[in-house]
Amino acid sequence: MPGRPARGILTAALVCGVFLAGCTGTPEPPPLQPTAPLPPPVTATTQPSTTGPPAVPAPTGEGAASPSDTAVVTPAFQELRAALELFSREKLQEGASAVIIRAKAGQQEWTHAAGVRSRDGQIAVQTSDRFNVGGQLRTMLGVSVMKLVEEAQVRLDDAIITHLPGSLAGNSTVTVRQLLGDLSELPGGLASRADSLLGQLVTQLRGQPLEAVLRTDILTPLDLRSTVLQEQSNAWPGDLVHGYVHVGGAVVDVVGLGPASGRASPALLSTVQEITAFQFALLGGELLSPEGLVAMKGTVFADYGLGLDHWNDRCTNGYYYGHVGDVPGYGSIAISSADGNRQLAILMAYPPQPLSEKPSALALEMTGVAQVALNSGCRFQFR
């Protein structure tokens, strides 16, 4: 997609211009004084490009009542909101059918939804709508694998064929740790199978379907009722935001492609609220032992942990943790400070792109924007 990376750099530069304190290496400035609560959003209809979806309804702004409805809102948080709304408008103008964003800084929270659920209708997207969140499943698989490690049912350095005989012809030394770690370091052809193999491992050792394992390990304890593993053969939920790709010169709904989309079933469907709730619980130690969480986070010398990615946190000289989701038609980024006090998640139904298994440049752009926005947290007032 020629020109997309450059546009992403421009977007990040614009956001960075709003967050000067978060994008420089200068010492942290003193907290800004709180202002009156943030006024309602301007309800201007966003007009997409001619290649995008039909006329897009106005952004819905805040959804259900949240702590931000009563908490004072700092100027820095207002700036974060303005910059992310700018990003959302730009993506809609480029042809994205929907963008949902959730940001949190201490007691300040904001959710945003703009666009439509499907190009075939005019139903405005809601902040509670579900997306295919792709790679966010990898972090959940990491939790379930680490629970097995804590129970001594598997070791990270076990060869995967120890538990799944015949699964890796010609790659008999590949370990559980490698499958859960940096995919770029796996032997050729295995990266696309890593999550599937991890799912088979969990299913084999638990003696239950993967969805049942995830429900026991994560979804039920955290009361995440909208997060499901969706099989292609099952009916898709009505609150799903549809993603689109170009196939043979036509714009095609990914939901109807099935296995032809190039990604293995099942798909993880979730909402922006539940993805951030999962991250908050994970980083808060609610799902794993301290040792298990440390293992997932990885070391300062590695670019990737075990089912968790990390990025530099300029506010603390530590790290943000989270994951990128990138599947045909959809992109997501969910990142959080180590203490969960600052969080940001962006879900997008991409502007239609040619169907490909290669990573989308838009995923990289979303990740860059999220980092810049959270680094502005150096100016957030939490108390």
Predicted TM-score (pTM) of this structure: 0.82
Residue 252 has a pLDDT of: 93
Scored b (16 or more CB within 10 A) or e, 187-213 reads eeebeebbbebbbbbbbebbeeebbeb
**Helix, strand, coil distribution of the chain in percent, nearest 5:** 35, 20, 45
CA 353 to chain centre: 19
Residue 49 has a pLDDT of: 33
Q: What topology is assigned to 4-140+212-379 in CATH? A: Beta-lactamase (3.40.710)
Contacts of 365 (CB under 8 A, 6+ apart): 4, 5, 7, 8, 11, 12
Three-state SS for 89?
helix
Residue 61 has a pLDDT of: 53
Distance of alpha carbon 88 from alpha carbon 229, whole angstroms: 27
In this structure, the dihedral spanned by the alpha carbons of residues 93, 94, 98 and 103, taken in order and rounded to 10 degrees, is: -80
For 341-359, the pLDDT digits (tens) are 999 999 999 999 998 888 8
Phi first, then psi: give them for residue 127, nearest 5 degrees: -65, -20
Residue 55 has a pLDDT of: 54
Residue 15 has a pLDDT of: 52
Positions of the chain with pLDDT under 50: 1-14, 18-54, 62-69, 380-383
Instruction: Return the structure tokens found at 222.
Output: 């955290």
Residue 191 has a pLDDT of: 81
Cα Rg of the chain (Å, integer):
20
